[in-house]
């Protein structure tokens, strides 16, 4: 019986988080469209925003595509002024890609929309409700699940 209850609670959690994600992403879709990026380009933009400058091979691995295809993806980001290529001073054969200021601003605009929507949702909660919700999300964050999901 306890197993079924846990399964039901897990299902409710999944449904609630999915609903929240949909609500938070509605406005971000138009921001993504305004950037006029393909999915691999957007993934590269957010990878560089999260992890800083990366070698082309690392980007290719993260995208799950060949380095030659990654070159095309990065070319488009460079053409839009969102990224730049640098040579590694220790090995000139190595190409490092990093975001430009414009690229960092584009990524930040994307995330700002979600933060603003979360703030609007939080405004509708009582202090006790917000406290409980924050504690629950902090517990999820602190479980180390992200490391296991991304590995």
pLDDT digits (tens, 9 = 90+) for 49-91: 999 999 999 999 999 999 999 999 999 999 999 999 998 788 8
Q: Indicate yes or no: pTM above 0.85.
A: no
More confident site: 39 or 1: 39
Instruction: Residue 101: name the closest of 76, 75, 80, 70 by CA.
Output: 80
CA 66 to chain centre: 22
Strand 83-88 with 54-55, pairing:
unpaired
List beta partners, residue 84.
Answer: 98
pLDDT band at 24 (very low <50, low <70, confident <90, very high): confident
pLDDT band at 141 (very low <50, low <70, confident <90, very high): confident
The CA-to-CA distance between both ends of the chain, in Å, stands at 33
Put residue 95 in one of left, alpha, beta given phi > 0 → left and psi -120 to 50 → alpha: beta
Write down the mean pLDDT value for the chain. Answer: 86
């Amino acid at each position: 019986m306890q197993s079924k209850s846990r399964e039901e609670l897990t299902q409710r959690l999944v449904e609630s988080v999915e609903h929240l994600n949909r609500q938070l992403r509605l406005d971000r879709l138009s921001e993504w469209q305004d950037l006029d990026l393909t999915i691999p380009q957007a993934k590269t933009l957010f990878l560089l925003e999260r992890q800083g400058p990366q070698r082309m091979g690392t980007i290719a691995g993260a995208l799950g595509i060949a380095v030659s295809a990654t070159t095309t993806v990065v070319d488009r980001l460079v053409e839009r002024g969102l990224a730049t290529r640098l040579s590694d001073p220790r090995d000139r054969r190595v190409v490092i890609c990093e975001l430009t200021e414009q690229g960092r601003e584009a990524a930040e605009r994307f995330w700002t929309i979600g933060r603003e929507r979360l703030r609007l949702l939080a405004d509708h909660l009582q202090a006790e409700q917000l406290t409980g919700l924050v504690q629950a999300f902090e517990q999820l964050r602190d479980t180390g699940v992200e490391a296991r999901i991304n590995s």
